[in-house]
């Protein structure tokens, strides 16, 4: 029985607030019934001790039966070797181990200082929080918010409402931000904006290493970077390497040249002034109030704004309402206004099919309108006879030079070893015959995509044959291949089956909650926590698992 009674008594003694130095003692039952009042003397302040913490003050009102006290004047609470809190007043409950401090409160752990007008300190959970505005200052940053909670074991501060970080290199504004004091890593939730010297980042969920200005966002993320706006499901940024990347549903907007790239993976290199994009990649630009779509397995944009160069590699295609084409690769230069279709190119303009070893489209640099085209080596132009619907008008030569007027191909010159087959009709659309001629040069004048007039230069040799006198196998020039079934009729047709069936990578943290305390320990190389008390169970985080391709992030 005696032993059974000793244990609660021992526990009660452990919970009891102890007086270390009382100095002057008095009572005031009228104003403070049941309380003992202690005040400092000339030598030292009043001092109390409770379960590893010491408290000093000028005046203490101590309720021993209730195991609580109110400390007044130059109050200092010391816990262990690191935690110290100073204030004008403190209410402390020894049973719950909760302290409420107010009047010019500051709390420090030796590496950071938290200041506020009122602070609650839960020693049982090792948490402190404010809800009327506070500031945290450490060696790297100054952080302010309306609400803040400091998790002492994790060395983490969770800031909420009007969160602001001030740093000589950048500022951060967020609705909620979790900040780890050791690593200086920040995890953002809700609308958040980071403004650096040469970049602006917006996201609604993301991570930022405040020491090296590196991070990512995985919800409604936008980076304004080097005259480009980068958007995507997941966007990564690294100031040190002047590098950004994006994954899934990406848009990269050139704010100077008004060009847009869409893809499911992209990399942006600031120092090289370049963009690399793949996975259903398409570049979109405005030509004469009409959008030009260029696609390739890989897109590469390089050069400063005045000399942008676009390259589309492998399975390259383009589409404009009145023109489309495809080839192995497309090279386009802003400075010269030349777009080159390289290796097995084919171009469709209205009803005309053009092929050759390479095709060049030239724009007028002042008007930005399509000016002319060149088909270099083995030039061949074919158009279906729009009246008879069975034959094909054809012309070929070594090179072809075309002139556009108001975006319509009006003049075509074929030079060297030229040949033509053309179906002639009278005004009643009755077939007169089929013209088959060879000469040194041919000029075709076009109207509404039909040949309006043909001029033969230098010793033309040919004739107009009645239809019945020209066999079917003689109605096609050597090398004739009609590829109408390959023609691209819409912007969606620049993508093949593989493009349309791309499986997007799964972005960690978008759909499923991720414990950011666990992530932070992984990131910092620390072992997992066995006791998760003090973490935020509602917090969600994201983590980039860098692909082997390059230093990019946010996928798993």
The DSSP code sequence of 275-298 is EEEESS-EEEEEETTEEEEEE-SE
Distance CA 466, CA 214 (A): 76
CB burial readout 138-170, b (16+ within 10 A) else e: bebbebbbebbbbbbebbbbbbbeebebebeeb
pLDDT in tens, the chain (556 residues): 233 334 444 555 558 999 999 989 999 999 999 999 999 999 999 999 999 999 999 999 999 999 999 999 999 999 988 899 999 999 999 999 999 999 999 999 888 999 999 999 999 999 999 999 999 999 889 999 999 999 988 899 999 999 999 999 999 999 999 999 888 999 999 999 999 888 899 999 999 999 999 999 988 899 988 788 999 999 999 999 989 999 999 999 988 877 899 999 999 988 888 999 999 999 998 766 778 899 999 999 998 888 889 999 999 999 988 889 999 999 999 888 899 999 999 999 888 899 999 999 998 888 777 889 999 999 999 999 888 888 999 999 999 999 988 778 889 999 999 999 999 988 888 999 999 999 989 998 887 767 788 888 888 888 899 988 999 889 999 999 999 999 999 999 999 888 898 888 877 655 555 677 777 777 777 766 654 444 443 333 333 333 333 333 333 3
Distances (CA, A) of 430 to 423, 426, 515: 10, 5, 79
Structure pTM? 0.79
Residue 506 has what pLDDT?
Answer: 79
Distance CA 391, CA 71 (A): 103
Residue 528 has what pLDDT?
Answer: 66
Report pLDDT digits (tens) over 142-185.
Answer: 999 999 999 988 899 999 999 999 999 999 999 999 999 888 99
Report pLDDT digits (tens) over 367-386.
Answer: 777 889 999 999 999 999 88
Domains of the chain: 1-124 (2.60.450.10), 328-486 (2.60.450.10)
Tokens of 427: 């005004």
What's the sign of the alpha-carbon dihedral 203, 235, 544, 264? positive
Distance CA 410, CA 447 (A): 7
Residue 254 has what pLDDT?
Answer: 87
Helix (H) or strand (E) holding 405: strand 399-405
Which residues, 6+ apart, have CB-to-CB distance to 480 below 8 Å?
380, 382, 392, 394
- Cβ(247)–Cβ(234) below 8 Å: yes
């Amino acid at each position: 029985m005696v032993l059974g009674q000793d244990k609660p008594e021992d526990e009660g003694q452990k919970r009891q607030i102890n007086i270390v130095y009382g100095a002057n003692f008095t009572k005031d039952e009228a104003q403070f019934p049941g309380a003992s009042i202690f005040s400092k003397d000339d030598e030292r302040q009043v001092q109390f001790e409770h379960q590893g913490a010491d408290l000093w003050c000028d005046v203490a009102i101590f309720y021993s039966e209730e195991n609580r006290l109110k400390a007044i004047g130059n109050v200092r609470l010391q816990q262990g070797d690191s935690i110290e809190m100073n204030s004008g007043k403190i209410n402390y409950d020894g049973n719950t181990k909760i302290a409420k401090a107010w009047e010019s409160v500051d709390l420090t752990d030796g590496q950071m200082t938290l200041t506020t007008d009122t602070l609650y300190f839960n020693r049982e959970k090792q948490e402190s929080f404010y809800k009327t505005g506070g500031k945290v200052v450490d060696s790297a940053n100054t952080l302010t918010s309306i609400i803040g909670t400091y998790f002492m074991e994790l060395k983490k501060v969770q800031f909420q409402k009007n969160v602001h970080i001030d740093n000589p290199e950048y500022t951060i504004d967020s609705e909620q931000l979790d900040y780890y004091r050791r690593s200086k890593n920040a995890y953002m939730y809700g609308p958040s904006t980071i403004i650096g010297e040469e970049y602006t980042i917006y996201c609604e969920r993301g991570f930022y290493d405040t020491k090296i200005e590196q991070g990512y966002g995985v919800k409604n993320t936008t980076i304004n970077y080097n005259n480009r706006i980068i958007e995507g499901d997941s966007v990564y940024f690294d100031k040190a390497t002047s590098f950004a990347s994006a994954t899934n549903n990406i848009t990269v907007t050139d704010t100077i040249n008004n060009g847009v790239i869409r893809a499911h993976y992209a990399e942006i290199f600031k120092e090289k002034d370049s963009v690399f994009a793949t996975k259903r990649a398409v570049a979109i630009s405005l030509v004469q109030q009409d959008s030009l779509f260029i696609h390739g397995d890989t897109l590469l944009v390089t050069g400063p704004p005045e000399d942008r160069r676009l390259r589309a590699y492998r399975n390259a295609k383009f589409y404009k309402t009145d023109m489309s084409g495809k080839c192995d690769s497309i090279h386009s230069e802003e400075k010269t206004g030349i777009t080159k279709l390289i290796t097995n190119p084919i171009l469709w303009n209205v009803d005309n099919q053009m092929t050759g070893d390479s095709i060049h489209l030239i724009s007028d640099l002042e008007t930005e309108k399509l000016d002319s085209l060149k088909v270099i080596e083995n030039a061949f132009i074919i158009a279906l006879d729009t009246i008879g619907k069975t034959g094909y008008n054809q012309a070929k030569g070594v090179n072809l030079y075309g002139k556009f007027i108001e975006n319509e191909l009006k003049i075509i010159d074929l030079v060297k070893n030229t040949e033509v087959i053309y179906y002639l009709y009278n005004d009643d659309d009755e077939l007169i015959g089929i013209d088959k001629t060879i000469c040194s040069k041919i000029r075709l004048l076009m109207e509404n995509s039909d040949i309006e007039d043909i001029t033969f230069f230098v010793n033309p040799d040919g004739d107009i044959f009645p239809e019945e006198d020209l066999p079917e196998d003689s109605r096609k020039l050597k090398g004739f291949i009609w590829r109408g079934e390959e023609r691209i009729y819409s912007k969606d047709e620049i993508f093949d089956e593989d493009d349309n069936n791309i499986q997007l990578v799964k972005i960690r943290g978008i759909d499923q909650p991720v414990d950011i305390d666990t992530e932070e320990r992984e990131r910092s190389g620390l072992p997992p926590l066995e006791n998760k008390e003090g973490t935020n169970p509602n917090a969600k985080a994201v983590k980039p698992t860098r692909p082997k391709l390059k230093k990019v992030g946010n996928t798993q």
